[in-house]
Chain A
Amino acid sequence: MFEEINVYDENQIKLQKSHPTRSECLKLLEDYKTPEHVKRHCFSVTAVAYAVGRELNKNGWNLNLEVIEGAGLIHDIARVDDKHWEVGARIAGELGYYHEANIIMNHMFHDFSTDGGITELDLVCLGDRVVKEDRFVGLPARMEYIKNKARAFGNAENLKRIEEKARDAFAFAQKIESIIGMSIRQLMKREGIVKNVTEKLDSMLKKVEKPARYTGGELNSVVKNPAEAELHMGFAFPDTYEIGMSYMGMQILYNLLNKEENIYCERIFSPNSDMEKLLREEEVELFTIETKTPISELDIIGFTLQYEMSYTNILNILDLGNIPLRSEDRETDCPLIVAGGPCAYNPEPLADIIDVFQIGDGEELMIEFAQMYADAKREGITKREFLERACKLKGIYVPSFYKPVYNEDGTIREIIKLYEGAPDRVERALVEDLNKAEFPTKPIVPFVETVHDRSVVETFRGCTRGCRFCQAGMIYRPVRERSKEEIIRICKEQLANTGHDELTLLSLSTSDYSQFEPLVGVLMPYCKNHNVSLSLPSLRLDNFSFKVLQEIQEYRKSGLTFAPEAGTQRLRDVINKNITEKDIFDAVEQAIELGWTHIKLYFMIGHPYETYEDLDGIADIASRVIAINKRLRAGGGAGRFSVTVSASNFVPKPFTPFQWAPQDTAESFVEKHNYLSSKLKPVKGVIFNYHDTETSGLEAVFARGDRRLGEVLISAFHNGCKFDSWTEHFNFEGWKKAFEETGIDPLFYSCRERSYDEVLPWSLIDGYISEEFLKSENEKAKKAITTPDCRHYCVGCGMNRHTTCTMGGYYGKIRD
């Protein structure tokens, strides 16, 4: 506890004749030549302290507002001097302003009153602790800033002391908030100290590109009064509006959450650089799309983790909202930060940042979780108490309840539990019956053109094919289908409610839907009659599909995509991509005969056990497609025909048979790209694209990384990294520096082979797919032995230990 040094005792203060007026204070600042920015700081601190004091007085306190104003205005009068508090106190004291002098003397090191009292000194200090430069940022953001300074110096003792002080400050702020019956931020808003976003928004919107991304008011967006909602939350997509609005998962949860009467869920996106620049310049906090509420005022912010390269955007969103980045810095007065989505299956790189992860299907869990939070809010329990409750829900992972312990070689020795009541393993949430998981029939229709502007209906979740590189094929098991009738109903309603002129079906493999032909038989004529184009992605190219494609693409036979994934049969067997060369060439032949003039071939490079022969195979397939075209269309129209070969770089993912495998090194990728380029260049009519090596490497680091990467992320963010998945924004230097600064070797995560007995960072998460299955698949991969589609017979992935899987041996069942 810091001992207060009072220059003047109580008796002297009692004898004090007058207090400095505002104009006197301004004159003093003027005469002392206090710099402008310091003056502005003093004004802001005073405005906050005065507003709080006046509000307290309205609630029966008796604080001297004159003292608060006087002391606040000149508390930093001598800011540029050494020991400025002493100098300032002397200036005030010599003028007979004893009380003010005492406050100035103590404002730097004051410990907030804990005896239940509140003094003028407390309030000036509170003002000082919630204002950064001349702007109200709130206690959490200010405390984070101070802690970060201590962290940078690496002085653990100092940091501990600051943390204690921060806790006292929070306790003090809470005391005030309970007296005045509102948060300090709310009071600041009411008093006009925190500006309403909407005041500045109109002029800001005139300065940015595509302003309709920030205005809200789109068709089917939900408008509620936030003040009437018990729980006010934001669903955040950490990328631009155009990308986020094309993501169906957000629409599903948005719809479900807003159906709950006591919940209001709004949307949050990463602003584009021009808007971000304006927000920072104008000191406007990032806001929700619907009601333009600053995101720091929400109860919960839920991020979706769709790809690793969006992680820095999460930090940027928090930062733009004035929300501390680290979970431990957000004790009170901050939204609860939640994250879900496929990348949450390895939550560890974000474990220090996110408070709660939701693993698995969100439809049921999200609602249960949100209502649990609403209850907790009503009861007024602490964040910690809530987390203790929430971690008992299936699918909820609270990272702060666990702590990994590392071996000397950097691998994890064990993960210890810090809270006894937390589960030993976190089971994923699973929606067993998709017909009961409501799919939106009134999705939001953006004003601006987004990546996918169309009606989307999910036909089934999961996949039976078992490609060994594919995470989605593993973590969404078992296959759960929506009934044909339900799909048709949703399609019709969605088209009627949106006015879209395109409809697409969503799943991991469109034609694997068991009622695919009858479904298409209904949808095709319906769409035709309603001037809607039907688009069916990832079709298996058999006769039926071609018939369908013929009909739905009457005029637009531009491109047809095949994904052999690997160049030779051996490597396709390794990755268990059950497609043969004959399948490919037969389909290509048919496509060319039917008039397609552009074929896209999609491959991955860097599969485990890949050799240069497999790369030769890629070139061979491309050349043979060209040759087929020449043969079939000899003499006519062959000139316009082209083949695009796209190669992405393989990234090993958790919960796949290749989760132990090393990624290819950057050098090897580059060599392989160059090799393929040289092989494909001489083939006329082939265009070769490949994915950037540096991002693939980073993706691999974060896909299988552990908790220590949190510091790398924060450091990269401070180095200016964001929008990492955008080539034009990708800042590799910033990342390199981040790894150097934190002393972390990225190759440890990306290019190292793990042994089967290593404790993997995500081992706490139970994805229901059994580890024995993944191991046996990996062993079979080494010998290039395939595993059939589960529809032939159950391959024993372990799913039916937890739920009913209807697909095992499905073909046999329908034959009988």
Chain B
Amino acid sequence: MARFVIDYKKYGYIKYTSHLDMLRLFKRAFKRAGIELEYSNGFNPHPKMGFALPLSLGYESLCEMVEFETEQKITKEEVAERLKKIMPEGLEITGCRILPTEGKSLAALVDKASYEIILPSDFEGMAECDFAGLSENFMRQNEIIVMKLSKKDKRGRRTEKPLDIRRMLHSFEISSKGGHQVISMTADCGSNSNLSPELVIQAFLKFAKLEIPRHEIDVKRIGIEFVK
């Protein structure tokens, strides 16, 4: 049995396909590519396949990973070739690697993730902003408190709780790229400590006193780091 990981990029309209729909998409893609996944045992057998880190709806990514297991005799080059041929536009297979069969899943090893947050080229108040200064001051804060919605409780209710995101945020810089102000950030990610870029966006806009609507901002994942 072998364990593979496929690296791919996600961009264009397909960024509007959700995590769950991506799971179904890959399941079907493996079928079409003639790659037989290992199935779990039990009442409802499901294929042994998983993403390193779910990607939020609407995000692009340069560094997506999906791992799977198969009994099939197949090389990593062959896997990549077969999938490249059948992936829809905007899902670009960049490589395939072999992982040791034992050990934790990639999802369990994720430690940090980096993103680019692309602000609109022009928005009310942006012209007056000193983004370099703002980002420095933003990071100089000892704590950055945001209100975070909890998961639904038993009764389906969600509550807002204050959360300090400063300690989870490792870097935050703004530079000008192609006429846009682009935030580059790295934050904790994974089951131990996890910070969503959404909270960073929310905190920074408040800090910079900008009222840019969320739908004017694009987010792209540019890196995932694993526990050594």
Instruction: Spell out A's residues near B (CB within 8 Å).
Output: 203-207, 210-212, 214-219, 445, 447-449, 453, 495-501, 530-531, 555
Contact = CB atoms under 8 A, between A and B. Distances in A.
Contacts, number: 68
A205 to B, nearest CB: 5
B24 A449 contact: yes
Residue among B16, B18, B31, B88 with max Cβ neighbours from chain A (10 Å):
B16
Contacts of B57: 211
Closest 5 CB pairs of A and B: A499-B28, A499-B31, A206-B215, A215-B13, A211-B16
Given A219-B88, A449-B21, 11 more contacts: A206-B215, A215-B14, A215-B16, A215-B17, A217-B12, A217-B13, A217-B90, A448-B17, A495-B31, A500-B28, A555-B44
B29 interface: yes
A447 B21 contact: yes
A206 B58 contact: yes
Interface string B202-216: 000000000000111
Contact of B216 (A203, A211, A447, A448): A203
Contacts of B44: 555
Interface of B: 12-14, 16-18, 20-21, 24-25, 27-32, 39, 43-44, 57-58, 86, 88-90, 214-216
12 contacts: A203-B216, A207-B215, A211-B58, A217-B12, A218-B88, A445-B28, A447-B17, A497-B32, A498-B32, A499-B29, A530-B31, A555-B43
Nearest to A446: B21
B58 A205 contact: yes
Contacts of B27: 499, 501
Contacts of B25: 447
A212 B16 contact: yes
Nearest to A555: B43
A339 B32 CA distance: 35
B87 to A, nearest CB: 9
Nearest to A448: B21
A497 B31 CA distance: 9
A449 B20 CA distance: 9
Contacts of A501: 27-28, 31
A555 B89 CA distance: 37
B215 A203 contact: yes
Given A217-B90, A447-B25, A449-B21, A205 B32 contact: no
A205 B88 contact: no
Contact of A216 (B13, B18, B21, B32): B13
A227 B171 CA distance: 48
A219 B89 CA distance: 9
Nearest to B26: A499
A660 B20 CA distance: 50
Contacts of B24: 449, 453
A41 B92 CA distance: 46
A666 to B, nearest CB: 35
B41 to A, nearest CB: 12
Contacts of A531: 31, 39
A206 B214 contact: yes
Contacts of B16: 205, 211-212, 214-215
A498 B58 contact: no
A205 B29 CA distance: 25
A445 B30 CA distance: 14
Nearest to A497: B32
B58 A496 contact: no
Contacts of A448: 17-18, 21
Contacts of A530: 31
B104 to A, nearest CB: 26
A498 B28 contact: yes
A217 B21 contact: no
Contacts of A205: 13, 16, 58
A448 B16 CA distance: 10
A219 B24 CA distance: 13
Contacts of B58: 205-206, 211
Contacts of B14: 212, 215, 217, 447
Contacts of B17: 212, 215, 447-448
A620 B87 CA distance: 55
Which residue among B14, B24, B86, B214 has the maximum number of chain A CB atoms within 10 Å of its CB? B24
A204 B89 CA distance: 20
Nearest to B91: A217
Interface-centre pick from A203, A206, A449 (highest chain B CB count, 10 A): A206
B88 A217 contact: yes
A359 B28 CA distance: 37
Contacts of A498: 28, 32
A211 B56 CA distance: 13
A217 B216 contact: no
Contacts of A499: 27-32
A215 B91 CA distance: 14
A212 B28 contact: no
A210 B21 CA distance: 10
Contacts of A497: 32
B47 to A, nearest CB: 8
B89 A217 contact: yes
A216 B88 CA distance: 11
A217 B25 CA distance: 13
A121 B88 CA distance: 52
A449 B86 CA distance: 20
Residue with the greatest number of chain A CB neighbours at <10 A, chosen from B20, B29, B39, B88 = B88
Nearest to B32: A499
A25 B58 CA distance: 45
A343 B160 CA distance: 51
A496 B29 CA distance: 10
A216 to B, nearest CB: 7
Contacts of B90: 217
A503 to B, nearest CB: 12
Contacts of A212: 14, 16-18, 21
Contacts of A495: 31
A14 B32 CA distance: 75
A592 to B, nearest CB: 21
Contacts of A214: 16
A463 B150 CA distance: 55
A115 B131 CA distance: 63
A448 B90 CA distance: 16
Contacts of A211: 16, 57-58
Contacts of A447: 14, 17, 21, 25
A207 B215 CA distance: 7
Contacts of B39: 531
Nearest to B47: A531
Nearest to A531: B39
Contacts of B13: 205, 215-217
Contacts of B28: 219, 445, 498-501
A214 B17 CA distance: 11
A553 to B, nearest CB: 12
Nearest to B31: A499
A530 B94 CA distance: 28
A656 to B, nearest CB: 40
B202 to A, nearest CB: 15
A25 B25 CA distance: 58
B13 to A, nearest CB: 4
A219 B88 CA distance: 6
Contacts of B20: 449
Nearest to A207: B215
B51 to A, nearest CB: 16
Nearest to A495: B31
Contacts of A215: 13-14, 16-17
With a 10 A CB-CB cut-off, give which of A207, A453, A499 has the most chain B CB atoms.
Answer: A499
A238 to B, nearest CB: 23
A530 B37 CA distance: 11
A204 B86 CA distance: 29
A531 B39 CA distance: 9
Contacts of A216: 13
Which of B13, B28, B57, B215 has the most chain A CB atoms closer than 10 A to its own CB? Answer: B13
A496 B43 CA distance: 25
